[in-house]
A and B are shown apart, each in its own frame.
Chain A
């Protein structure tokens, strides 16, 4: 049995890098979508308020609702991040198991 720790650590870090890199890109794209949607929504609300179509109370109520939408998106991002971590952890366990089996 010849355990090469360096090889094991290199393999693990490459798995973690690959798994987490994909998730990072997806979260970045999603964050961009959230920001773009907010810009659009705030612009619409500002136009309605300045045009006199909605009251100040309505604007405040709408902004509170927008906060909830952002919260929902952040929760979705949290699930995406958890999914990436879960995938990376399981891939690492699989790699270690195969490595040990190969040694035996």
Chain B
């Protein structure tokens, strides 16, 4: 009788262990790599986890390596060439203005040059505006355009140009283009 009750107790202990193991399996399900077919990719099935870990680390490093901080756009050589070209046109305009006699300073004599340079400046401004992360260069090109239009309107209104101010205006535009080119040069080439 004692033996029977002992065996009964032993059986119930085994049943309890089996049930506990089932609960553990339910609580912490293991991925069956054979079921997913992953183990077939790797030569050693039991090391599949290590391979997966290495793959994740390598992918992570590659993603981190390709990660770059960008605060400004890349340098655009075409914009630099265009800025140099407009700067040259403005310089030539002021050379002609300074060399002109006071009788030749009427606005009509310079209106074509004013228009063509304004067109080039508007194009430069739009090109700067079109690029992302380029607010500084856009503002500088807008300042150049605004000053050009201001001097044009003053010339048109007075129908003459104060020749004492002409060299100062010429230097001012030169300086503005220096600022624009400095901003462009700071950008990296990619």
Contacts and interface: CB of A to CB of B under 8 A. Distances in A.
A69 interface: yes
Contact of B61 (A45, A58, A76, A97): A97
Interface residues of A, number: 36
B162 interface: yes
Contact of A72 (B57, B65, B179): B179
Contacts of A94: 65
19 contacts: A37-B175, A48-B168, A54-B164, A62-B168, A71-B143, A72-B143, A72-B179, A76-B183, A79-B186, A82-B71, A82-B72, A83-B186, A83-B187, A86-B72, A86-B188, A93-B68, A96-B64, A97-B65, A100-B64
Interface of A: 30, 37, 41, 44-45, 48, 53-54, 58, 62, 65-66, 68-69, 71-73, 75-76, 78-80, 82-83, 85-87, 89-90, 93-94, 96-97, 100-101, 104
A86 B190 CA distance: 14
Interface string B86-108: 00000000000000000000000
B139 interface: yes
B79 interface: no
Contact of A86 (B65, B70, B172): B70
B140 interface: yes
B26 interface: no
A93 B164 contact: no
A48 B136 CA distance: 33
B61, B171, B182 interface centre (most CB from chain A within 10 Å): B182
Contact of B140 (A54, A58, A76, A85): A76
B180 A76 contact: yes
Interface of B: 57, 61, 64-65, 67-72, 136-137, 139-140, 143-144, 146-147, 150, 162, 164-165, 168, 171-172, 175-176, 179-180, 182-183, 186-188
A66 B144 CA distance: 12
A41 B168 contact: yes
A48 B147 CA distance: 20
Given A54-B164, A76-B136, A93-B67, A104 B57 contact: yes
B71 A69 contact: no
Given A54-B162, A72-B180, A78 B68 contact: no
